[in-house]
Chains A and B, each alone.
Chain A
Amino acid sequence: MKDHEGRDGHEDHEGHAMKIPGQHAPSDGPEALLTVEGLVKHFPITKGLLRRQVGAVQAVDGLTFDVRTGETLGVVGESGCGKSTMGRLITRLLEPTGGRVAFQGKDISHLGVAGMRPLRRDIQMIFQDPYSSLNPRHTVGTIVGAPFRLQGIAPEGGVKKEVQRLLELVGLNPEHYNRYPHEFSGGQRQRIGIARALALKPKLVVADEPVSALDVSIQAQVVNLLDDLQDELGLTYVIIAHDLSVIRHVSDRIAVMYLGKLVELTDRTSLYTKPMHPYTKALLSAVPVPDPKRRAKRERILLKGDVPSPISPPSGCRFHTRCWKATDVCKVQEPPLLALEPGHQVACHHPENAPEAAAAGTSGG
């Protein structure tokens, strides 16, 4: 009983009301701009002449979360955990295999190109690689002005003036309008990408590793710029990154992913001061700290081995093959994502730092 096409608000609201009441009922704060329920993306693996499907890369396998208006949601995880696929699903650059993505209450999970077009104004993306995400044959003016042409919007005072305003907004010289991408450094190119993303005054900006390709001193410039733009334009961000220090700096709430699943979702302070999932704890302890004096004192949890393949993820809790707390229950039963404390969701049978009652409830198997 799901209505996909929701041509106007009414039908859609009915669909929305059918939301499964569950543990993961979100939003206790401001309203949700983007709601994701049970999101799944499997990439088929085919073989032979007939392209028979022999398996699937389970890149994203059942995510439920929401993004609240005005916040920054950070998404962290190691390579192959599905964080980039998640970013491409919520911006609908990919179509989900299952589950539901709703933007401002409207189901966008299976909208076509035409159906998505008006929404493209509201949802924009910033890419990781400032070299391959800008067309080398186009001038900066063409690149940043493209959204206006594609959407058929004539900004007040003309496209050129608006583009120059945007360039200034992101800290570039408006006179660089006629230059080509190769004339800019990595940090400047990333600013061009940001200007393009902001051209149509989006509500939601999804940034996939926005600073990881940049030098340390330039990273800080771009992080500060994203911060300023959020204050100035009231943007909502989803920032995907593998660097836990950067994520801590930019995020209000943080989602930790492991092999296509959410393992922990909470606000910044709780995540960094009392992580509940063993994986989060290990991840935090592995971050190299720029302080040689602390080298000796540090308590580090070294995980065994590498992340398993998402083609055949481990049974039960996907982390059990590397977890030092794993027991028999972890191998067979997948832990649900539960709110053990208000606003602190964890998917673990043996959570750390958990309140007494909750811990007994989940681990007493």
Chain B
Amino acid sequence: MTTAPAPGTGDAPTAFLDVRDLRIHFPTDDGLVKSVDGLSFQLEKGRTLGIVGESGSGKSVTSLGIMGLHTVGQYGRGRARISGEIWLDGKELMGADPDEVRRLRGREMAMIFQDPLSAMHPYFTIGHQITEAYRVHHPDADKKTARKRAVELLDRVGIPQPDRRVDDYPHQFSGGMRQRAMIAMALVNNPELLIADEPTTALDVTVQAQILDLIRDLQKEFGSAVIVITHDLGVVAELADDILVMYGGRCVERGPAEKVFSEPRHPYTWGLLGSMPRIDREQTDRLIPVKGSPPSLINIPSGCAFNPRCPYADVPAGGITRTERPELRLVGGDGAAGGGRHWSACHMAEEERARIWTEEIAPKL
């Protein structure tokens, strides 16, 4: 079950998680916020997908959408308008009964949030919160079994003296331990899909390294599909098998992690790589930032959303970058031979992009 993700074309789902043309829009007084606007990807069990993007690129909204956590409706303010298809293990979630989705949530798919202090209830003990998550999906289990399961998982995620700490409240845990406890809570029902939204952003570097190791080990052990959402290219490189780069609510580049890092084919990915000071390379004098700032999701630039910030916007003839939205296209024709497929959405000819990367961008990084 670890074949490379393939694009969904037919009606039947082709992968464990198959997201097709996902659109999540929020009507507001100022206009329609198009947080996610036509996103498709596939993920197999045992694989990790890293979704990278800046704030407002739609990455967190996507994850909440998969979990079915948006309030949906046609009327009223602040209600999301969602369309598209989400297939999880052969079941379509978008049109499914909300009760059905609730049964899956927590059992088949679970989520780790960025800030464990606000994601946990301060009034209940850690143990109470983990056992609750367990007993909701195991109505037959008695308290004793559930508690045993909680202690077992706290032990697994590396909490010292789990049989004692299980009765602590969240504020008695340090930041790193809280994040471990939340991972334990997410894993209590052996979910097959785990979504981690900025799992280490609130943590210190040394603790971040511990948590990244833990997530990696747990995935090997549980064999689940994992989505890691982050703005940090370093974190993604540590964890992900495949990478999806988001910009303005759409995917601009997607492919195996090694390809995306070593042969990126989208100017925005180049910009992200050039913006980062690298500890693993020779010292450079200057960073190469992306000019301007991320677009407003109410007023996404026409054509390619990245065109106002792109240094190569004028390379394709006829101003097509400003009028026509580029679709995702395979890099290097059918790249299946290389093990995985690499996609990018850019109007520039592929040879031209390959040349710019090798001659102009890569040497300066």
Does B associate with A?
Answer: yes
Which A residues are within 8 Å of any B CB, using their own CB? 78-79, 185, 187-188, 215-221, 223-224, 227, 242, 244-246, 248-249, 268, 272, 282-295, 300, 302-303, 305-307
Q: Which of A227, A287, A288, A292 contacts B258 (CB 8 A)?
A: A292
By the criterion CB–CB under 8 Å, are B212 and A288 in contact?
A: yes
By the criterion CB–CB under 8 Å, are B210 and A302 in contact?
A: yes
Nearest chain A CB to B196 CB, angstrom units: 14
By the criterion CB–CB under 8 Å, are A288 and B206 in contact?
A: no
By the criterion CB–CB under 8 Å, are A216 and B278 in contact?
A: no
**Assuming A289-B279, A306-B177, is B208 touching A185 (CB within 8 A)?**
no
Nearest chain B CB to A319 CB, angstrom units: 11
Q: Does B84 contact A (CB under 8 A)?
A: no
Q: Which of B206, B240, B258, B290 contacts A217 (CB 8 A)?
A: B290
The winner among B209, B210, B231, B290 for most chain A CB atoms within 10 A is B209
By the criterion CB–CB under 8 Å, are A283 and B206 in contact?
A: yes
By the criterion CB–CB under 8 Å, are B279 and A272 in contact?
A: yes
Nearest chain A CB to B237 CB, angstrom units: 5
**Assuming A248-B283, A306-B207, is B54 touching A290 (CB within 8 A)?**
no
Interface residues on B, range: 35 or more
Beta-carbon nearest neighbor of B176 in chain A? A306
Beta-carbon nearest neighbor of A308 in chain B? B174
* Residues 133-174 of B contacting A (Cβ, < 8 Å): 174
18 further contact pairs, Cβ within 8 A, besides A216-B231, A286-B205 = A79-B175, A216-B54, A216-B232, A216-B233, A218-B289, A220-B274, A242-B204, A244-B279, A245-B277, A249-B283, A272-B279, A282-B206, A288-B234, A290-B261, A302-B206, A303-B206, A306-B175, A306-B177
By the criterion CB–CB under 8 Å, are B271 and A288 in contact?
A: no
**CA gap between A101 and B287 in the complex, in Å:** 34
By a CB distance below 8 angstroms, the chain B residues around A188 are 293
**Assuming A220-B289, A290-B234, is B206 touching A245 (CB within 8 A)?**
no
Query: Main secondary structure on chain A at its contact with chain B?
Result: helix
The total of interchain contacts (Cβ-Cβ below 8 angstroms) comes to 133
Nearest chain B CB to A92 CB, angstrom units: 28
**CA gap between A223 and B288 in the complex, in Å:** 10
Nearest chain A CB to B67 CB, angstrom units: 24
By a CB distance below 8 angstroms, the chain A residues around B236 are 290
Beta-carbon nearest neighbor of A79 in chain B? B204
**Assuming A289-B237, A306-B174, is B294 touching A215 (CB within 8 A)?**
yes
**CA gap between A288 and B234 in the complex, in Å:** 5
By a CB distance below 8 angstroms, the chain A residues around B212 are 288
By the criterion CB–CB under 8 Å, are A287 and B279 in contact?
A: yes
Q: Which of B174, B176, B237, B274 contacts A288 (CB 8 A)?
A: B237
Q: Does B273 contact A (CB under 8 A)?
A: yes
By a CB distance below 8 angstroms, the chain B residues around A282 are 206
Nearest chain B CB to A273 CB, angstrom units: 11
Beta-carbon nearest neighbor of A185 in chain B? B293
Q: Does B276 contact A (CB under 8 A)?
A: yes
The winner among B54, B174, B262, B293 for most chain A CB atoms within 10 A is B293
By the criterion CB–CB under 8 Å, are B280 and A289 in contact?
A: yes
Q: Which of B175, B210, B231, B237 contacts A295 (CB 8 A)?
A: B237
